[in-house]
Structure 1
């Protein structure tokens, strides 16, 4: 595919759900009541069976533009019609603090208002259920439309004449009108005044949240957008943070690498908590820690790579053959078989993630004492799995190896356990952690190619892996050492693409050779550059990699090096976390102050 592909969509959310809205104000994706529920609008995966929620100009000749209201997750889509008239659609998910808690209903609010002249528009609202297999009956109420057949009631409350909604006929837009779609509790209050109040309160909430964020002057606007994106991927009810709100967007056309990412990966815990820490947001860290604690308390002999947003451990993977798939890319998958994999890096990642709650005085909490045995259990699992081959962070389905990345997190986890042992005053824990740190380092060194000085993907492997860049950024290798320089140079020669894009690896896996670069790897590369003092290159590549966003600054999982196309699930928290952490690393090197 020579033409550049971008995800021309914005995302709104309130930490209970997310809605994806394209540049023509069509809701292309919305799952209710949870991130991992069936979609009620899924045009992203099937134009016919996915339903729709569109605002349609009467004329076919128009242009649109789309932007976020500054420092918020409120999205505006503006229409400029060929007859000179125009209108805009403001979409948001209400979120604000009241009655000592956050109000975050399953409610999508759409405000339509003319901007020039008197445009004619129509509204098409046709939700579906059970991944497009069920079409609900529409029933007209006094000032709302009911959609029957869901587990809870779904309503569209509006001050547009209902006949126009039911018949999909156009009407003149002479002033502001409102559409409020709810799942569960409907909107019973006054429509116009309530929506305007919710809009003001939601705008105020997001701007206050941004004001409380610690972000340096280095590309501050990009960092604010990444932080806002990351925030709405947290399911606040449990504290879980999902990898993405979508499923089955292909890593590359025809690759069949179409995965469901609406779950919480333990691996991402370290990177995400690091990002929240870097921007000074401790509430989200503590919520995420609460989720991790619930996972750690499960009766199991090992930690899985991922869990559901409610810490469910069975995520059975199914293919939905009745759906066309994104741009015809099949299969469409729900669930993720990676939950069955052995990925032993998770133990070190949990320990590294927990460290701030024991070593940082800002998190002192006397109730942490009960987790002492759980900490020891995780340390024991590092010892137990030290020489066990695993699927690795890229989740190879038909290959087990003793991965360098796994040993890096054994080493980092043991280093964290040393410090946690000081909190408990536990000498035996500290001694065991030290021994495991040494054992992990020995196995990392076994991954090093003696001729090139490059650390390979696994013991005995000749394949390079971008995850090994983190040997530098996590200070296993001294960034000022010759060993770090050689390792980085070798990785660049093999895996670096144009503009600083980076491949995960280039060898064949279960699905052939990867065709797209993986965006978070590019940000790992940028961090490594900053660490070794190649700061000008780090800044240059940061700006180039950030340019692969869509029109709203949102980043995908993958980028095609040949034409800059976005692929993979979207937006990808991994990519936005990578951008935040890379910017933070550069800002520290530049000695730029953080703004609060």
Structure 2
């Protein structure tokens, strides 16, 4: 193996996808994470989590003889990734990676395929193609069969086909060959192509580039930080499953929160909480289609609950049971396991979800641009969730931090139950339903009174994380954003100060500092840092907020992406990647800190 395959893993990776399939590609064009046939399925490329035993490293790589350098970028305003590899003699090869997404015959085509085009751009590089998929979470190598211009990989119950105009024998044997002309590689379902591979690849490339340029053109961007917002918005789009409407929290599983902490979780599921933040951010950019799809998903989830109870997360296909298991076939990112599939948080009680769903839905009742606005039928479905919020707001739960060994009455959970009732009252008023408006306003008032009394710690002089407690957590910074309390209220100002005193380290914010099931957290949670930025902007501390934002921008990887957290001392990215929470934060902070267009033009 070359140094390329043995280098220390990091999160210098790009994402390609089409809202049906997604893959991660490292800064040397190594595709080492892709789940199929769904984004929460078996990773057919799993090298990111250490699938290397001398027989197959779970990755798809293009290697130049005596390779010395690489550079990488996205084609402007697209999800098309370009990597240029250079060898010791100055020969260069360019790899274009993308998943096809475009409109055809009035319909959106998002085939479950990856397209890779490799072409010489300087001299005549000598290329090795190494494609080593696996199945059953790294345990099994595939059976292979070959045709004239394709290779079939039998990966457990699924079969994938690589169609190429490169020499199939060289690909199978990983024999170096001179790259004298462009070569196309199309990997997808076991179906033949209707045309020559390069013709298909070029057509898909042109149409996909046109789609993304057109999509970006429709965004309502701020005057400043436009490149930041565009990349974050595209990435959020790639973390959604358009077929069902689900929004993934991240595309990976088990990248540790930090080192050998044991904090390795599977984030390839749809959390009601995370999805709300994603929908809210995209709505602010005029990209409302994700909200419309998500509401279809949530409507199906609600229809499957007879009581109205909503668990905190679901599978992409509405699965309710996503049991957590440790995977034996993968050692983990940098060997730092365990690797998990599934997430036991689905069994937890997290009472903030009702507010999250209703907050995600409210715009569809007020936005006249939408072809299908919210109506009374949708309102009645949401009322079932509101009834749950009415009954559980003062009950102990695991909270948004998903504590596994303790339950408390969390202030944030109560706050989101208040938000559920408050927004239902607003929707009822919009629909002219006076009795319902009165009911939900009264419920919101009762919950608000209790939060003000029981969520406040008189001795500390601030709101606290749990009723009757004394500690703060970062979720308290959302109290003004949700509209519960004015940003200039002395009680909110005191709470911001307490969060900074207890949780802020430099320009980064921890979720909490209290020890949990795995000890004290060692990395700052990037989403919380963005919540601090929001609170500072709202309280008039614009310059401080901008300084923190500049610091976070410097922590992004070379393509502008963020993971879940940042290690405060080293500045290194840790946690699942890309994290929708973090990409949402980039959008919200950019919108809050940008100058108005009138100041620019």
- Please report the TM-score for the alignment, with normalisation by the length of structure 2: 0.95
How do 1:100-119 residues align onto structure 2 when only pairs under 5 Å count?
Answer: 100-119=106-125
Aligned residue for 1:582?
589
Indicate the residue corresponding to 2:88 in structure 1. Answer: 82
Q: Does residue 192 of structure 2 align to residue 175 of structure 1?
A: no
In the alignment, which residue of structure 2 is the partner of 1:224?
A: 230
Cα distance in 1 for residues equivalent to 2:343 and 2:559: 29
Q: Of the candidates 573, 593, 596, which is equivalent to residue 591 of structure 1?
A: 596
Pairs within 5 Å for 1:353-372: 353-363=360-370, 365=372, 368-372=375-379
Tell me by how many angstroms 1:593 deviates.
6.0
Cα deviation for residue 50 of structure 1 reads 4.9
Aligned counterpart, 2:487: 479
Distance in 2 separating the partners of 1:6 and 1:461: 39
Task: Give the structure 2 partner of residue 460 of structure 1.
Answer: 468
1:11 match: 15
Conservation of the 8 A alpha-carbon contact between 1:40 and 1:50: no
Note the C-alpha offset of 1:376: 2.2
Checking the alignment, whether the CA contact within 8 Å between 1:215 and 1:223 is kept in structure 2 is yes
RMSD, matched Cα: 1.8
Structure 1 distance, partners of 2:151, 2:236, is: 33
C-alpha distance in 1, partners of 2:445/2:461?
20
Distance apart, 1:584 and its partner CA: 1.7
- Structure 2 residue ranges without an equivalent (≥5): 1-7
Supply the distance in 2 between the matched residues of 1:507 and 1:368 (Cα, whole angstroms): 44
How far residue 6 of structure 1 moved from its aligned partner, in angstroms, is: 4.4
1:305 is aligned, of 283, 299, 312, to: 312
2:394 match: 387
The aligned runs of 1:322-333 (5 Å cut-off) are 322-333=329-340
**Deviation (angstroms), 1:427:** 2.7
TM-superposition CA deviations, 1:31-73 (whole Å, max 9, x none): 11001110111001123165221111122x4111111111110
Count of residues in Structure 1 that have an aligned counterpart in Structure 2: 589
Q: Does structure 2 retain, via aligned residues, the 8 Å contact 1:356–1:363?
A: no
Q: Secondary structure at the match of 1:362?
A: coil
For residue 263 of structure 1, the aligned residue among 263, 269, 288 is 269
Q: Distance in 1 between matches of 2:278 and 2:513?
A: 26
Residue 153 of structure 1 aligns to a residue in which SS? strand
1:137-216 equivalences under 5 Å are: 137-216=143-222
Q: Choose from 441, 448, 453 the match for 2:456.
A: 448
| Local SS of the residue matching 1:544 | helix
Task: Summarize deviations over 1:341-372 as a string: whole Å, max 9, x none.
Answer: 10111111222222112233334747733234
In 2: Cα distance, 1:528 partner to 1:255 partner = 30
**SS of alignment partner, residue 457 of structure 2:** coil
Asked if 1:235 corresponds to 2:241, the answer is: yes
Relative distance call for 1:71 and 1:367 in structure 2 (3 A) is closer
Q: CA deviation at 1:547?
A: 1.5
Aligned with residue 408 of structure 1, among 409, 415, 422: 415
1:489 aligns with 2:497: yes
Check conservation: 2:18, 2:238, Cα contact below 8 A. Answer: yes
Separation of aligned partners in 2, 1:201 and 1:527? 38
Q: Does the 8 Å CA contact 1:248/1:333 hold for their aligned counterparts?
A: yes
- Give runs of ≥4 in structure 1 deviating > 6 Å: none
**What residue in structure 2 maps to residue 505 of structure 1?**
512
Distance 2:75 2:315 in 1: 32
Offset at residue 517 of structure 1 (A): 0.3
Native 8 Å contact 2:394 2:414 kept in 1: no
Deviates more, 1:5-14 or 1:380-389: 5-14
Q: 1:251 aligns with which of 250, 257, 261?
A: 257
Match of 2:5 in 1: none
Q: Which of 8, 29, 44 lines up with 1:25 in the alignment?
A: 29
1:178 match: secondary structure: strand
CA distance in 2, matches of 1:7, 1:127: 20
Give unmatched runs, 5+ long, in structure 1.
none
Q: Does residue 1:95 correspond to 2:96, yes or no?
A: no
